[in-house]
Structure 1
Amino acid sequence: MTLHAELHRHLGGSVVPRVLWRYFHRSDAELAQRFPEYPGFEEFYTKPRKSLDEYLELHTLVEGCQTLKTLPYFVYRLIRGAYIFENLAYLEIRYTPYLRTDAELSESERIDQMAEIVAMVGRASRLPEYPIVTSQILCMHSRLPNAVNRAIVDLAAQMPSYVCAVDLAGGDAQYADRLDEFVELYAYARSLGLKTTGHLYETPQGCYPELIPYLMRIGHGIQIPLRYPELLGQLAARHQCLEVCPTTYLKTGTLLDLQELQVVFDRCFDAGVDIAICTDNAGLHNVRLPFEYESLLTHDIIDFKQLQACQDAAFRHAFAWPHSDRPACLLSELLKSEVNTVALEAV
């Protein structure tokens, strides 16, 4: 059995449609009335959108449900599904903690409550019955004030037992007017010793080379090999990894055909740039990580050797994976040790 690492999964988009619909019917009368039958909700929730901005609006549907009280419900089901159905050994969960705080509080009170949110997600994701190594990536947000985003960076630095990195989310087309601000926030994060990733070069409108030097990984980044392949050498020299989420680009209208990703993989492999294959929003897509692998293989976008290279890259670039090797190597050493023990006992 192959064990996998997932580096790009949003907490808001991780809830599979059936679980979310059941939650509505148990706990939210207004949304239950809006979606009385499951098939209609699944079709609404998982259908492709016309743009990334329209797609991101779906996150607000879930964010309002994920509170201090309900987060254990959602996180438990995320971890259970990841372990049983996806064979995950490692999972980074990313989200904006401010958007899970009580909206009736003042801004300063909500900032203070973020630590409780992070601790709750951390405790809820560490389950003895589902032994997955987990960590959190806290997302700054392109539509939040600078003071809130800076507080998110500070919180990430203050809670290393739960948090492994910071991110910038909220739609990459929104960065332009505040680019200097986001550059300063990333520089500040790096000065605190934090690891970094960011939603960048996902769409043609989200291409900001000013941010690249501050990122250890790039969330999506597909427009670099597609439109700016001259940048690939710099990424390879910095050992930066792209977090490529195939189904997302069809759901957001960024790509019209999955086959367009062949150029992304070919140019990155040729340039020596690592790719980790991810799901992004497994619930919104109603897919799991092994499906993303299978889809790329069956469309002849990558071969099995390249798939294994991407799987290796995911563990190599994982921010909080505690071992020097991926699980397959660890299991091989364990089995070798057992074989040697049996051989010695037989002598």
Structure 2
Amino acid sequence: MSLYAELHRHLGGSVVPRILWRYFERNRSDLAQRFTGYSDFEEFFTRPRNTLSEYLELHTLVESVQTHEALPYFIYRLIRGAYIFENLAYLELRYTPYLRTPEHLPQSERIDKMAEIIEIVGRASQQTEYPIVTRQILCMHSRLPYEVNRAIVDLAAQYPNYICAVDLAGGDAQYSERLDEFVGLYAHARSLGLNTTGHLYETTEGCYPKLLPYLMRIGHGIQIPLRHPELLREVAARGQCLEVCPTTYLKTGTLQEINQLKPVFDRCFDEGVDIAICTDNAGLHNVRLPFEYESLLTHDVIGFNELRACQEAAFRHAFAWPHRKQPSSLLTDVLLRQIDNMREDELREGGAEDSLLLS
């Protein structure tokens, strides 16, 4: 049984449509009434958008219901599905904690409440019946003020048991006017000993080489091999990994066909740049991580050797996978065997996917 590591999944886009719809029916009839039924909602939620900005607006819908009361509901179902249907052994879940705090509160009180959100997500992610190694990545946001983003970085350093890195989200085309500010925030994060990743070089408008030296991984980064291949040797020398999310680029209009990713993989492999295949927003796409691998394979974007290399790269670049604390592979091997055994026991017990999704 193949096991997977997921390095780029957003909490706001991780909830599959059926579970979100069931939550609306039970708890937010005002949102459910906007649609004629589930089919109408699913079509709205998963259809391709014209731009990344339009695509990101869907996060606002989900963030509004991912309150501190509802987060355990969503995270339990996320972890369960990731374990049973995706064979995930490792998951980094990223989100902006400020956007899960009550909107009516003043900024200072919302900042204070971010710690509560981190603890709720952390506790809810520790599911003994579905033993996935999980960590959080806290996202700064291009539309939030400096004070909030600085507080997010500082808070990340206070919860090493829950948080493995910081990120910058909100659409990479929005960074230009505040680029020096974001460079300073990343420099501060590195000074605190934090791991770093960031949404960068996803779109043609989001190419900022000034940020690259501060990142340990690059969120998306597909425009580097596509439009700026001269940077690949620097990326390889830094040991940076691209977090490539194939379906995202079709949903945002960044690419028209998945075959357009072939030069991304070919050029990265040629220059020794690792790629971790990820889902980004599995719920918005209504796909699971093994499908992303299969889709790349069946469209001849990668071969089986490259598929295996990407699987291994994901674990190698995972910020909190056990090998980072114990260089010997013994701990990893033991953990993998435990996960395999528990997963086989789970699958033998049966249970249809539909009944799991609806509960």
Output the TM-score relative to the length of structure 2. 0.91
Matched with 2:48 is: 48
Q: 1:276 to 1:14 in 2, by over 3 A?
A: same
CA contact (8 A) 2:98 2:111 kept: yes
The within-5 A match list for 1:145-184 is: 145-184=145-184
Q: Distance in 2 between matches of 1:147 and 1:157?
A: 16
1:87-102 alignment runs, 5 A limit: 87-102=87-102
**Whole-Å separation in 2 of the counterparts to 1:118 and 1:322:** 21
CA distance 1:332–1:54, change in 2 (3 Å) = closer
SS in 2 for 1:195: coil
Give CA deviations for 1:217-275 in whole Å, capped at 9, x if unaligned.
00000000000000000000000000000000000000011000000000000000000
Deviation at 1:36, TM superposition (A): 3.5
Aligned position for 1:197: 197
Give the aligned partner of residue 228 of structure 1: 228
CA distance in 2, matches of 1:202, 1:209: 13
Return the match for 2:333 from 327, 330, 335. Answer: 330
Question: Within the alignment, does 1:141 sit opposite 2:141 as a pair?
Answer: yes
SS at match of 2:65: coil
Max Rg structure: 1
Q: 1:328 to 1:192 in 2, by over 3 A?
A: closer
8 Å contact from structure 1 (residues 9, 94) kept in 2: yes
Give a deviation string over 1:291-314, Cα, whole Å, max 9, x none: 000000000100011010001000
In structure 2, do the counterparts of structure 1 residues 96 and 332 end up closer, same or farther at CA, with 3 Å as the change threshold? closer
Residue in 1 that maps onto 2:318:
318
In the alignment, the residues of structure 2 paired with residue 30 and residue 20 of structure 1 have an alpha-carbon distance, to the nearest angstrom, of 14
Once the 2 structures are TM-superposed, how far is the Cα of residue 88 of structure 1 from its aligned partner?
Answer: 0.3
SS in 2 for 1:124: helix
Deviation at 1:32, TM superposition (A): 1.2
Provide, for residues 49-90 of structure 1, a one-character-per-residue CA deviation record: whole Å limited to 9, x for no partner: 000000000000000000110000000010000000000000
Deviation at 1:108, TM superposition (A): 0.5
Residue identity in the other structure for 1:96: T
User: Partner residue of 1:306?
Assistant: 306
Q: 1:345 aligns to what?
A: none
Structure 2 CA distance, aligned partners of 1:67 and 1:211?
32
SS at match of 1:108: helix
- C-alpha contact 1:312 1:326 (8 A) present in aligned 2: no
* Correspondence 1:284 to 2:284: yes
The amino acid of 2:229's aligned partner reads P
* Structure 1 residue 95, shift from structure 2 partner: 0.2
- Could you tell me which residue of structure 1 aligns to residue 26 of structure 2? 26
Root-mean-square deviation (CA, aligned residues, Å) is 1.6
Check conservation: 2:48, 2:251, Cα contact below 8 A: yes
Gap runs ≥5 in structure 1: 336-347
Q: Secondary structure at the match of 1:242?
A: strand
C-alpha contact 2:235 2:273 (8 A) present in aligned 1: yes
Pick closer, same or farther for the CA change 1:35–1:334 going to 2, 3 Å.
closer
Change in CA separation of 1:212 and 1:228 when aligned onto 2, cut-off 3 Å: same
Bigger mean CA deviation after superposition, 224-233 or 27-36: 27-36
- Normalised to the residue count of structure 1, the TM-score between the two structures is 0.94
CA distance in 1, matches of 2:93, 2:205: 26
Take 1:210 and 1:257, find their aligned partners in 2: how far apart are those partners?
30
Question: Structure 2: which amino acid aligns with 1:124?
Answer: A
Q: What is the alpha-carbon distance in structure 2 between the residues aligned to residue 334 and residue 261 of structure 1?
A: 34
How many residues are paired up? 335
Mapped to 2, the partners of 1:133 and 1:64 lie a distance apart of 27
Aligned-pair identity (%): 76
Matched, 1:14 2:14: yes
Cα displacement (A) at 1:327: 9.7
Q: Aligned letter for 2:9?
A: R
SS at match of 1:12: helix
User: Stretches of 4+ moved more than 3 A in 1?
Assistant: 324-329, 331-335
In the aligned structure 2, how far is the partner of 1:128 from the partner of 1:195?
Answer: 26
Could you give the per-residue CA deviations for residues 169-197 of structure 1, whole angstroms, max 9, x where no partner exists?
00111000000000000000000000000
The answer (yes or no) to whether the contact 1:235–1:273 under 8 Å persists in 2 is yes
